[in-house]
Amino acid sequence: MLLAACGTDEAKEESNAEGESGETNYGKAVDYTITGIEPGAGITVTTEKAIEEYDNLSGWELEQSSTAAMVTELEEAISSESPIVVTGWNPHWMFAKFANLKYLEDPKGIYGDVEIIKTLARKGLKEDKPNAYKLIDQFEWSVEDMEGIMYEASESGKEVAEVAKQWVEDNPDKTKPWTEGVEDVDGVEIELVSTPWDSERASANVVAEVLRQKGFHVTITPVDVAVMFEAVANGDGDATLAAWLPATHKDFYEKFKDDFVDLGANLEGAKIGLVVPDYMDIESIEDLPAK
């Protein structure tokens, strides 16, 4: 009798998530919840805007926790082919781990189009530490490079810093252009300010390792996004490699843009948005039903 009751309850839950046509109501299936990451993150702020802008997301909530918790929930959902909606971005190793992820179309353009990650330097860095400025200005790499480091760290259990150091050793052809015209120094101090996510850990540690090979003493300071922009603008940090534009960090960039030097993109092809497994039969944010 107990087993029969459980089975009935499960069937009822499944039917409750289906509309009259038999199609899955993905809103009910995920309890009208988007699984997100840390409060204050660029994609968290943008997703809060998306919930406000899309009428069909009325009644939806953004579950804020941590990147690790979000990925854990995603993995559990995929293992049972259950519906889930998460905040996602490239570069991220989850796209290397899970081949069946897709971005939902964003007709209102809340998440922007393809993004770039920019390097920003404090005013006066070029005059104070010209060789560090030159190397940082010349740094650029690909989404695949960054995701490779992130995925290796995730799969091996090694620290991102350790994997990044090995990547530098294994890819002299890719790092050589960064050091062209850069002279060796003796212990000049450089502080890179970054966010505490694996993507930014990868870029910061790669550049830090190359700087160290040129004789710099490098400190990497992980902080909240708002603090990162403020630190470079105030001169408390020398540079950041982690400014996502034009959408993700737009508000922070606009607030401080007159107080730092924009060195341009160090990575192209970044992207943020709402992500679902491809076994979910939806293609757009507008396919998600209001509560």
State the pLDDT confidence band at 78, using cuts at 50, 70 and 90: very high
Are 85 and 272 in contact, with CB atoms under 8 Å apart?
A: no
Rounded Cα distance, 237 and 233, in Å: 8
Of 82, 86, 103, which Cα lies nearest the Cα of 37?
86
pLDDT of residue 289: 96
Residue 150 has pLDDT above 60, yes or no: yes
For residue 69, pLDDT over 70 is answered with yes
pLDDT of residue 15: 40
Residue 8's pLDDT is what?
A: 43
At residue 4, the pLDDT reads 39
Tell me the per-residue pLDDT of 80-115, one tens digit each, with 9 for 90 and over: 999 999 999 988 888 888 989 999 999 999 998 889
Higher confidence at residue 13 or residue 203? 203
Percentage of the chain with pLDDT > 90?
79
pLDDT of res. 22: 59
Whether the per-residue pLDDT at 250 is higher than 80: the answer is yes
Q: Which two three-digit tokens encode residue 112?
A: 């922007």
pLDDT in tens, 40-49: 888 899 999 9
Confidence bin at 233 (pLDDT 50/70/90): very high
The answer, yes or no, to whether residue 20 has pLDDT greater than 80, is no
Q: What does the pLDDT average to over 7-18?
A: 46
Confidence of residue 14 (pLDDT cuts 50, 70, 90): very low
Is residue 274 within 8 Å of residue 50, measured between CB atoms? yes
Is pLDDT above 50 for 38?
Answer: yes
In the prediction, which pLDDT does 1 show? 31
pLDDT at residue 5, as a whole number: 40
Q: What is the mean pLDDT of residues 261-284?
A: 96
What percent of the chain is modeled with pLDDT above 70?
92
pLDDT mean over 47-59: 97
Q: In this predicted model, which residue has the larger pLDDT, 21 or 237?
A: 237
